[in-house]
Amino acid sequence: MLWSATEKISSPVLVALPIINSNNFKSVQDRIVPQVRDTVAELVESHSIENIYVCLSGGMDSVCLLEILSANHPLNSASLNIIHVNHNLSSHGCDAEKFCKTLAIKKNIPLIVFRAPPESTPEKSIEEWARNFRYESISRFIRKSSLVLTAHHARDQTETLIHHIIRGSGPYGLSGMPRLRKIGEGWLFRPLLDVSREKIQNFCETNNLRWLEDPANQEPRFLRNKIRKLIIPKLEDTGAQFEVNLKKMAEIQRTLASYIDDLTEKKIIARLNDRKNIPLSLLTDIDDKMKIFVLQSVLRRFGVYKIGRKKLEEILRQIVEAKRMKLPSIDVDDRVIKIHKGSLFVLKKFIYYEKKPEQQLWNSTDMVDFSWGTLRYSGHGLNSDIKKTREFLIKFRKEGEKINLEGRRRKKLKKLFQELAIPPWERPLIPIIYESGELVALGGVSVKGQENKYDYLKNIIFDWKIYYSV
């Protein structure tokens, strides 16, 4: 939901008011502000960013990041916006949302709020659910020209590495949080990842900033809080410079992950004709010891960053047994991995219908935009007069439907789908295109025999929105 910066809201909630401490302010200010400003400005330029979204929870770290960007805004070519996610886990969620609205109004910055339905909270794995809801909401919202900023800092990285060690993660997990990665169609960047929490607190106190403390950060039932309150203090008592050593470990793991990515690029990605699917023959050629790591590297390119070894092993099993399974698939967060006709696909788990598929006329000069794909007519090589006069009828599949084909008897539409190797999940959504009562195309696929009779059919293009691409 988009909130106007002029919207009237209730009085701001009570927040923590820190004691002002100006010690070393100039040195901290001189280091943090240029670091954030310059790195973000470079990304805006190099990645053609038009919209920046600061993830604001109301906590100290995100308030610090917003203050730096709003007070030292060097990003004239990109708009600055705020994203707040209300997980609706407790009354704190409402307090934090009100606080963020107040801050957005004060700074005259647009605010986007995502709220989880109260009934959607699971009884177990709340941390994982909240993280998934947060990133899935943002991922669906942003566009290619978007840059999302989070305020993770150096101690967050330490906690993450310890968390991943406890979970038994592989090279990608033990590499820690990356500073820059893809999220949806856009980018996610962590400009404070090398900054200590102490420096952030010093900055906030010196600038007399207000923030909220989340009571959930004190609850011992969450593993991250146990790491913060119990494990890290014990490691600090050893005097073994554990954070330095964790960074060294992460660097080693990043080197291994980089090798895996390079191998994947050479053996698989560079050989793709269609970046929406992976031919299984390319994966089966990989050495068995490396196969699970290469599969993980492939899935990361599809945006699947959080996947455990069990699911990776299950996907490999399904690949081996695909011929004996009806339609192999496995869910991973907001995506579903499917295996069909010797290829691996990654699709959106949920397809959001703005309206159900209905029969309609299509003037080829207009693009038809469905929530699951767009139908357009390129008109390449044709003069404008011919293009303007062409009209089609669009229909969608009905169960058991039969169609008439030129020079052939009536045939079940299902058989035609199979002949053209159209996957089962596309069939209810693919536009069935007629001209003058004659079937000419299924989406952007010309019906057999028609492409020679009607050369213009190659100009019909259907772009799916349900797929992720590498």
DSSP 287-337: -HHHHHHHHHHHHHHTT-----HHHHHHHHHHHHHGGGSSS-EEEETTEEE
Q: Are residues 303 and 227 in the same domain?
A: no
Distance separating alpha carbons of residues 287 and 277, to the nearest angstrom:
21
- pLDDT surpassing 70 at residue 304: yes
Q: Quick one: pLDDT at residue 316?
A: 92
Percentage of the chain beyond pLDDT 90 is 46
Domain boundary among 287, 313, 347: 347
Give a yes or no: residue 303 inside a domain: yes
Q: Quick one: pLDDT at residue 66?
A: 96
Q: 120-143 in b/e burial notation, b at 16+ Cβ within 10 A?
A: eeeeeebeebbeebbbbbbbebbe
- pLDDT surpassing 90 at residue 445: no
Q: Quick one: pLDDT at residue 216?
A: 83
- pLDDT surpassing 90 at residue 60: yes
Give a yes or no: residue 251 inside a domain: no
- pLDDT surpassing 50 at residue 385: no
Q: Are residues 38 and 74 in the same domain?
A: yes
pLDDT tens-digit readout, 176-202? 999 999 898 899 999 999 999 999 999
**DSSP 3-state assignment of 206?**
helix
Q: Are residues 47 and 118 in the same domain?
A: yes
- pLDDT surpassing 50 at residue 15: no
Q: Quick one: pLDDT at residue 437?
A: 81
Task: Report the predicted TM-score, pTM, of the whole model to 2 decimal places.
Answer: 0.79
Using pLDDT thresholds of 50, 70 and 90, give the confidence band for residue 319. confident
Distance separating alpha carbons of residues 360 and 378, to the nearest angstrom:
20
- pLDDT surpassing 90 at residue 447: no
Domain boundary among 281, 315, 347: 347
Q: Are residues 335 and 367 in the same domain?
A: no
Distance separating alpha carbons of residues 105 and 83, to the nearest angstrom:
13
Average pLDDT, the chain: 84
Domain boundary among 319, 347, 375: 347
Q: Are residues 292 and 327 in the same domain?
A: yes
Distance separating alpha carbons of residues 307 and 316, to the nearest angstrom:
13
Task: Name the residue among 376, 421, 411 with its Cα closest to residue 394.
Answer: 376
- pLDDT surpassing 70 at residue 275: yes
Distance separating alpha carbons of residues 185 and 302, to the nearest angstrom:
11
Count of alpha carbons within 13 Å of 88, Cβ hemisphere only? 11
Please state whether 108 falls in left (phi above 0), alpha (psi between -120 and 50) or beta. left
Query: In terms of residue numbers, what domain contains 459?
Result: 360-464
Q: Which token pair is 447?
A: 């019906």
Report the pLDDT averaged over residues 433-444. Answer: 85
Q: Are residues 9 and 48 in the same domain?
A: yes
Q: Are residues 281 and 411 in the same domain?
A: no
Q: Are residues 297 and 403 in the same domain?
A: no
Distance separating alpha carbons of residues 377 and 456, to the nearest angstrom:
9
Task: Name the residue among 381, 358, 374 with its Cα closest to residue 457.
Answer: 381
Q: Quick one: pLDDT at residue 448?
A: 61
Q: Quick one: pLDDT at residue 297?
A: 96
CA distances from 360 to 337, 356, 396, 404, 431 (A): 32, 12, 10, 19, 10
> Do strands 343-348 and 335-340 pair parallel, antiparallel, or not at all (unpaired)?
antiparallel
Most confident region among 126-130, 329-333, 336-340, 395-399 by mean pLDDT? 336-340
Give a yes or no: residue 252 inside a domain: no
Q: Quick one: pLDDT at residue 171?
A: 96
Give a yes or no: residue 230 inside a domain: yes
Give a yes or no: residue 412 inside a domain: yes
Place of tokens 């050479």: 266
- pLDDT surpassing 70 at residue 21: no
Q: Quick one: pLDDT at residue 354?
A: 58
Lowest mean pLDDT among 17-31, 83-97, 302-316, 321-335: 17-31
pLDDT tens-digit readout, 40-53? 999 999 999 999 99
Question: How many other C-beta atoms lie within 10 A of the C-beta of residue 419?
Answer: 11
Task: Name the residue among 177, 470, 133 with its Cα closest to residue 303.
Answer: 470
Element holding 374 (H helix, E strand): strand 373-377
Task: Name the residue among 17, 12, 13 with its Cα closest to residue 207.
Answer: 17
Q: Which token pair is 143?
A: 């566009």
Question: How many other C-beta atoms lie within 10 A of the C-beta of residue 464?
Answer: 17
Q: Which CATH number fits the domain that encloses residue 19? A: 3.40.50.620
Displacement of CA 359 from its chain's centroid (Å): 32
- pLDDT surpassing 50 at residue 3: no
Give a yes or no: residue 256 inside a domain: no
Using pLDDT thresholds of 50, 70 and 90, give the confidence band for residue 13. very low
Distance separating alpha carbons of residues 327 and 340, to the nearest angstrom:
7
Residue 346: DSSP 8-state: E
Number of domains into which the chain is organized: 3
Q: Are residues 282 and 237 in the same domain?
A: no
Element holding 279 (H helix, E strand): strand 277-279
- Between 238 and 446, name the one with better pLDDT: 238
Q: Are residues 277 and 199 in the same domain?
A: no
Distance separating alpha carbons of residues 96 and 15, to the nearest angstrom:
9
For the four alpha carbons of 301, 304, 309 and 313, in that order, the dihedral sign comes to negative
Q: Quick one: pLDDT at residue 4?
A: 33
Displacement of CA 52 from its chain's centroid (Å): 16
Q: Quick one: pLDDT at residue 7?
A: 34
Lowest mean pLDDT among 138-147, 206-215, 268-277, 351-360: 351-360
Distance separating alpha carbons of residues 115 and 192, to the nearest angstrom:
26
- pLDDT surpassing 60 at residue 301: yes
Q: Are residues 237 and 119 in the same domain?
A: yes
Give a yes or no: residue 205 inside a domain: yes
Distance separating alpha carbons of residues 142 and 51, to the nearest angstrom:
9
Distance separating alpha carbons of residues 332 and 322, to the nearest angstrom:
18
What is the torsion angle, in degrees rounded to the nearest 10, for the CA atoms of residue 91, residue 97, residue 103 and residue 105?
A: -130
Distance separating alpha carbons of residues 142 and 183, to the nearest angstrom:
8
Q: Are residues 136 and 99 in the same domain?
A: yes
For the four alpha carbons of 95, 101, 103 and 106, in that order, the dihedral sign comes to negative
Give a yes or no: residue 364 inside a domain: yes
